[in-house]
Structure 1
Amino acid sequence: MSGEAHDHPHGHDDEAPRWKHDGVRVITGDRLDPNTAQTPGMFRQAAINHARVGAQKIWAGTVAIQPDAKTGVHHHGPLESVIYVVRGRARMRWGERLEFTAEAGPGDFIYVPPYVPHQEINASPDEPLECVLVRSDNEAVVVNLPHVEPVEPPETVYWIDPIHRHP
């Protein structure tokens, strides 16, 4: 690799300030950004996004969902999503008629591939669901599928944010 040109700094003395200010970032749990769309049933906070750290290809944050909250049926276009369950019980339904289901608990990861119709559900009637959410882009892509009849219809408390719109 010696003699090759690169588009990123190597930490030379004249580039140290760039590394210092544009390098690794730690976003502590008490510094999450609640300045996101908030609606009844869900509390979302951004940790990593373009506005906060300059992220170009990823979004990460936390979401707390009230008991029994459910989204409408939707998919996220070309985006991939990963959900890590911190506390509570998550139920995911997916498929053309939401005919498939799986549940996840604390310490479990959920992967949602691009274009998969799905519904996110807090499986507990009396416990909140707390998760870490990571998406493969900063853009909020959501395609609602109102023609799909959900097996578990959304109830009066919806899981709604810029990604999950009211059905």
Structure 2
Amino acid sequence: MSHSHDHQHDHDHHHDAPPAPGTVDWRLNGVRVIKGDQLDTNTAQTPGMNRAAAINKARVGAQKIWAGTVHIHANAKTGAHHHGALESVIYVVRGKARMRWGEKLEFVAEAEAGDFIFVPPYVPHQEINASTEETLECVLVRSDNEAVVVNLDIEPVEKPEEVLWVDPIHKAP
């Protein structure tokens, strides 16, 4: 089965060919370093986890990806959600993750530091910190430049727990 690309696309193709020499100010439009203490927490959230954006359209002009971190506190379970048409990759930096997915979150797999997790578009899922003692720390990359989170009303197999966001700015009650 062949697929024709003769139709007009709704997205920008300016990255498909390199720019002509001397037409781009690479100092202003080149590599960007986002320091770990400068991540943006003003991004879509799901109960039980804290997401922070490093790379997105607003911060660096990213056209095709979103990247950031997610921290899930010890023994915490997030609410069920999906990320629309986006593909997601989760890299486990520290801790042990348990992923549940499916219409009733009936499927389960675990990942630990050094493992990658792939979440296809529209898959209902729940992230669980399988450790009762340490925070689960992950790097997250998605296939578009903005965060899409659709929180779902699914009765989870493992009930979400309210996890208070406590850090130097947000004090414990």
With structure 1 as the length reference, what TM-score do the two structures score? 0.77
Q: 2:34 is matched by which residue type in structure 1?
A: I
Asked whether the 8 Å contact 2:46–2:151 carries over to 1, the reply is no
Counterpart-to-counterpart distance in 2, 1:143 and 1:35:
16
Q: Which residue of 2 aligns with 1:155?
A: 161
Q: Which residue of 2 aligns with 1:10?
A: 20
- 1:137–1:38 distance in 2 versus 1, CA, 3 Å: closer
- 1:104–1:7 distance in 2 versus 1, CA, 3 Å: closer
Gaps of 5+ in 2: 1-15, 166-173
With structure 2 as the length reference, what TM-score do the two structures score? 0.75
Q: 2:90 is matched by which residue type in structure 1?
A: I
What count of residue pairs does the alignment treat as equivalent?
A: 150
Q: Which residue of 2 aligns with 1:164?
A: none
Asked whether the 8 Å contact 1:40–1:158 carries over to 2, the reply is no
SS of the counterpart of 1:33?
Answer: coil
Gaps of 5+ in 1: 1-5, 160-167
Asked whether the 8 Å contact 1:94–1:100 carries over to 2, the reply is yes
Q: Which residue of 2 aligns with 1:47?
A: 54
Counterpart-to-counterpart distance in 2, 1:109 and 1:97:
23
Q: Which residue of 1 aligns with 2:126?
A: 119
Q: 1:114 is matched by which residue type in structure 2?
A: P
Give 1:137 shift.
1.6
Counterpart-to-counterpart distance in 2, 1:57 and 1:100:
30
Give 1:62 shift.
1.2
What is the aligned-residue RMSD (CA, Å)?
2.5
- 1:122–1:114 distance in 2 versus 1, CA, 3 Å: same
Give 1:60 shift.
0.5
Equivalences for 1:130-149 in 2 at 5 Å? 130-146=137-153, 148-149=154-155
Counterpart-to-counterpart distance in 1, 2:45 and 2:131:
21
Equivalences for 1:18-29 in 2 at 5 Å? 18-29=25-36
Which of the residues 109, 115, 121 maps onto 2:116?
A: 109
Counterpart-to-counterpart distance in 1, 2:98 and 2:40:
26
